[in-house]
Amino acid sequence: MFLVRRSASRLYPSGLNLAKMSSSQLGDLGSGAGKGGGGGGSIREAGGSFGKMEAAREEEYFYKKQKDQLERLKNDQIHQAEFHHQQIKEHEEAIQRHKKFLENLGK
């Protein structure tokens, strides 16, 4: 199995901070078309309770999506650590085998 060396910047992208936009950038969620130039769909453009409900659903979706991504990242790191510990164990055993071979070769 080949291992790909990843840089820390790829494992922890700065894009995670994009989900933490301040309210001044977003305005009131669901209150109509925002400052970003996009309308966000007809329900959100109309505003009112339907717009707020849709904005809440959207926020919940992205919250769950980010939580899932972080959980997968954590699991990936755990699996990589376990893999490397196993590799260390196998290499240490190989070193011992080679040392025994060299000792027996000299006799």
26, 34 Cβ separation under 8 angstroms? yes
Residue 20 lies in a domain: no
Residue 43 CA to residue 53 CA, distance in Å, equals 10
Helix (H, G, I), strand (E, B) or coil at 71: helix
Residue 2 lies in a domain: no
pLDDT of residue 1: 42
| Average pLDDT estimate for 54-65 | 94
Count of domains observed in the chain? 1
Residue 12 lies in a domain: no
Largest alpha-carbon pair distance within the chain?
90
> Which residue range is the domain that position 84 belongs to?
42-106
Residue 95 lies in a domain: yes
What is the value of pTM for the model shown? 0.50
Residue 11 lies in a domain: no
Residue 106 has pLDDT above 80, yes or no: no
